Amino acid sequence: MKKLTSILLLALACGVGCNRSAAPPAPLRVEELPGALETAFARAQPDVKALANQIVVAVQARNYPKAFASLQTLSRSQGLTDEQLTILARATLTINALLQDARAEGDPQAARTLNTYRIQK
């Protein structure tokens, strides 16, 4: 009886945990990214706000490897809100796509950034 109960509880837990109705976040358009980051991090701690600003500056300069590295650092910050985490996830999708485009155009720095990320993931 304990075995059957355990199996049923495990099956129930798996069924509840596998909710596929939530869609993944959509990437931000490149034009939206600076404004979204500035809005989401407007009231953040100065060091966190500075990292968000680094991402904005790097995107505006089309330095996508730098933007990606700053995104990774910012994502590991403590105390981020749900809104900030969502913006970071969407920004990561955007920057990743820009890096892939740059790699396809022959940018060796973009290729190195993506390879390093793949290896460390």
Q: Please list the pLDDT of the chain residue by residue as tens digits (121 residues).
A: 445 444 545 554 555 555 556 677 888 999 999 999 999 999 999 999 999 999 999 999 999 999 999 999 999 999 999 999 999 999 999 999 999 999 999 999 999 998 888 888 7
Q: Where are the domains of the chain?
A: 27-120
Cβ neighbourhood burial of 32 (10 Å; 0-12, 13-18, 19+): middle
pLDDT, residue 117, reads 82
pLDDT, residue 5, reads 46
pLDDT, residue 24, reads 78
Q: Which two tokens stand for residue 42?
A: 């407007």
pLDDT, residue 90, reads 93
pLDDT, residue 4, reads 45
Distance CA 76, CA 66 (A): 16
To the question of pTM greater than 0.85 for the whole model, the response is no
pLDDT, residue 120, reads 82
